[in-house]
Amino acid sequence: MSTIAVVPGSFDPVTLGHLDVIERAARIFDRLHVLVVHNPDKSALLPVAQRVSLIEQAIAAAGFGENITVTSWSVGLLVDYCTDVGASVIVKGVRSQVDVAYETPMAIVNRGLAGVETIFMLPDPAHAHVSSSLVRQVASLGGDVTPYVPKVVADFLQKP
């Protein structure tokens, strides 16, 4: 039986840290859905459709997308999406104890709601300090985000 996993997130924008987790998860699971979820707790830089497009382009450029679907979700619980597509696992990158503390209640609730397990994946140390909020701040102040995001994202954020 094939195992389907979901990597959910705001991805506003996708970073090299996200891309690393997506690539490694795609090697472990038969099929991977990268799901852009609108997080009402955060004010967004990019429209959801733009975030989906940038993830698709970054994956295509990196060349590992055969078993990956990139899409968005805005109508209900994350686990409802998982149930709809037959996914039994959620994959989350955790960079620190702060991330673990943030993710743990959601993981327990998601398992309770629908029996969907969450797997925490540690980052490549090269990307452990990178976050979308840091990228948004550096970009908004005119700094170079090239070290933190896929080239397609850097080009998009830094276009004149």
Task: State the Cα–Cα distance between residues 157 and 151, nearest whole angstrom.
Answer: 10
Sheet holding 89-93, edge to edge: 68-73, 31-37, 4-9, 89-93, 117-121
Among 6, 10, 59, 70, interactor with ligand PNS by CB under 6 A:
10
Among 3, 28, 39, 47, interactor with ligand PNS by CB under 6 A:
39
Q: Which tokens in the block code for residue 83?
A: 């149930």
Choice between 9 and 65, CB closer to ligand PNS: 9
**Catalytic residue status for 151:** no
Task: State the Cα–Cα distance between residues 90 and 79, nearest whole angstrom.
Answer: 9
Residues 105-134 that bind ligand PNS (CB under 6 A): 106, 109-110
**Catalytic residue status for 33:** no
Among 23, 24, 31, 37, interactor with ligand PNS by CB under 6 A:
37
Task: State the Cα–Cα distance between residues 64 and 54, nearest whole angstrom.
Answer: 15
Q: Which stretch binds ligand PNS (CB under 6 A): 4-12, 61-69, 115-123, 144-152?
A: 4-12
* Annotated catalytic residue, options 42, 133, 140, 151: 42
DSSP state of 126: G
SS3 35: strand
* Annotated catalytic residue, options 88, 95, 111, 131: 95
Q: Are 145 and 154 in contact (CB under 8 A)?
A: yes
By CB under 6 A, residue 62 contacts ligand PNS: no
By CB under 6 A, residue 25 contacts ligand PNS: no
DSSP state of 122: P
By CB under 6 A, residue 77 contacts ligand PNS: yes
SS3 12: coil
Choice between 29 and 73, CB closer to ligand PNS: 73
Q: How far is the CB of 130 from ligand PNS (least distance, A)?
A: 13
